[in-house]
Structure 1
Amino acid sequence: MYAIIRSGDKQFRAEPGMTVRVPALSADVGDTVTFDEVLLASTEDGTTVGTPTVANATVTGEVVRHGKDKKVIIFKWKRRKNYRRK
């Protein structure tokens, strides 16, 4: 059983007991979060695809922690000109 949910502008696959990293949420650690935008729901009975969302379907989860991703380094350079910027 799994569901495809939308949080912000991204889509994530969620399964029972799975940890999902989503963009910043305005919830404290330990709070319960409900995602109402379920795009696809799959069970043993079959798969339901929403148009655009599945009616009466929600995914609930708990905020485990907040954090940041690894720092992205932008490197600019031009060939043969000895131009490099980090």
Structure 2
Amino acid sequence: MVVKWKYCNGFLLVRVARQGVAGGRGNDKSMLAVIKTGGKQYKVSPGQKIKIEKLEIPENQEVIFDNVLLVEKDGKVEIGTPVAKNVKVIGKVLKQGKGDKIIVFKYKSKKRYKVKRGHRQLFTEVEIVEIK
């Protein structure tokens, strides 16, 4: 089975196709999952590196994601309601850091009002080790 999805108006639309059907991937045995962390959803597969919202976990430590919304493993798809049961995604924290600086500038003409503020979002870079 092949899973295709896209976001539409903030919702995750999922389409499941059988192997051998147009658009299928054949005998590809890849694994992937959709996890939820930091209020966002991420499509991940083993070996992939992702930047997520800041986690209070030191570098080179293991992190376990329990909020797994969808899993494709060996051609079988499990869609959670709302989370898949007995499925975990294990990752390794590579580094903690700050994103690029964003400048917020507010200005009102003829009123002598201007405010300039900067922001750097904290992030955690995680490498996905395995999907159980």
TM range, smaller chain: 0.7 to 0.9
Alignment of 1:9 onto 2:35: no
Structure 1: 5+ residue runs without aligned partners? none
Aligned residues: 85
Q: 2:78 aligns with which of 16, 41, 48?
A: 48
Give the TM-score normalised by the residue count of structure 1. Answer: 0.85
1:26 — aligned with what? 56
Distance 1:43 1:58 in 2: 12
User: Which residue matches 1:68?
Assistant: 98
- Displacement after TM superposition at 1:30 (Å): 0.5
Percent of residue pairs bearing the same amino acid type: 38
Q: Distance in 2 between matches of 1:49 and 1:22?
A: 22
Query: For each residue in 1:10-51, what CA deviation from the matched residue of structure 2 results, as whole angstroms up to 9, or x when unmatched?
Result: 111111100011111111111010001101111232221100
Q: Secondary structure at the match of 2:103?
A: coil
Inter-partner Cα distance in structure 1 for 2:74 and 2:107: 53
- Alpha-carbon RMSD across the aligned residues, in angstroms, is 1.7
Higher strand share: 2
